[in-house]
Amino acid sequence: MDKEPSFNSQVKNIYHLLMVLFLLFIISGGSLIYYANNPEAFSFKKETSNLVAVSLEEDSDRIENGIHIRTGLIEAEGLMTVVNNCTNCHSAKLVTQNRMDADGWNTTIKWMQETQNLWDLGGNHEIIVNYLVTNYPPVKKGRRMILTNVEWYELEE
């Protein structure tokens, strides 16, 4: 008779302990599953984006395969002079899609200075024009070019 209640209370204690462990398991397991599905939930965004920004500054003038990645301009003598003087108002795409001789580039620069608020380029003028005629010279096209870059595909009708 004496043994019975103490055995019962031991069972109860173990039972309570197990319940607590079980609850903890459910809670931690649940949060792990939740985390797996919503990885955003426990992160602190602001700090991470700051970290990212720092590592980028050093890379903004990165060159890959002879191309200045930020602007798409060809890496050659005078590149940074062109980047610093010619990509403030308009994108470098306006440079890279054009092909002109020295006369053409000079006329364009003069036009930008007279009408588009481009500053006096001083000694940089020659550096810029040399860079442009060397890297972006005219290509002969004649009266009509052949079709190039045709992407062939089977036409089903």
Partner 1 sequence: MKRRDFVKKTTLSSFATLIGAEVVFGSKLMEGYTPVALQDPDPFKLFNKHKEMIVLNNKPWNIEAQAHLLDDKITPNSSMFVRNNGLVPENIDAKKWTLTIDGESVKNKKVYTLNELKTKFSHHTYQLTLECGGNGRSEFDPPAKGNQWTVGAVHCASWTGVRLRDVLEDAGIKSNAVYIGFHAVDQHLSMDPSKEAISRGCPISKAVQDETLLAFKMNGEDIPLVHGYPLRLVAGGWPASVSGKWVNRISIRDIVHDGAKMTGTAYRVPCETVAPGQKVKDENMCIIESMPVKSLITYPKSGAIIKKGKVLNIRGHAWAGELEVTKIEYSIDFGSTWTECNIEKPANRLAWQHFSASIDFPKTGYYEVWARATDSNNKAQPMILPGWNPKGYLNNACHRIAVKVK
Task: Enumerate binding residues for partner 1 (CB under 8 A).
Answer: 25, 28, 32, 35, 39-40, 43, 48-49, 51-53, 56-57, 59-60, 62, 69-70, 89-91, 93-94, 97-101, 104, 108, 111, 115-117, 138-145, 147, 150-155, 157
Question: Residue 87 corresponds to which tokens in the numbers above?
Answer: 């990509």
Q: For the residues of 64-114, what is the DSSP string, one character each?
A: ETTEETTTTEEPSTTHHHHHHHHSSSS-THHHHT----HHHHHHHHHHHHH
What's the min distance (Å) between Cβ of 146 and partner 1?
9
Please say which residue, 1 or 41, places its beta carbon nearer to partner 1: 41
C-alpha 23/C-alpha 15 separation (Å) is 12
Please say which residue, 6 or 49, places its beta carbon nearer to partner 1: 49
Please say which residue, 9 or 43, places its beta carbon nearer to partner 1: 43
Please say which residue, 7 or 111, places its beta carbon nearer to partner 1: 111
What's the min distance (Å) between Cβ of 74 and partner 1?
16
What's the min distance (Å) between Cβ of 18 and partner 1?
10
Residue 37 buriedness (CB in 10 A; 0-12 / 13-18 / 19+): exposed
Residue 41 buriedness (CB in 10 A; 0-12 / 13-18 / 19+): exposed
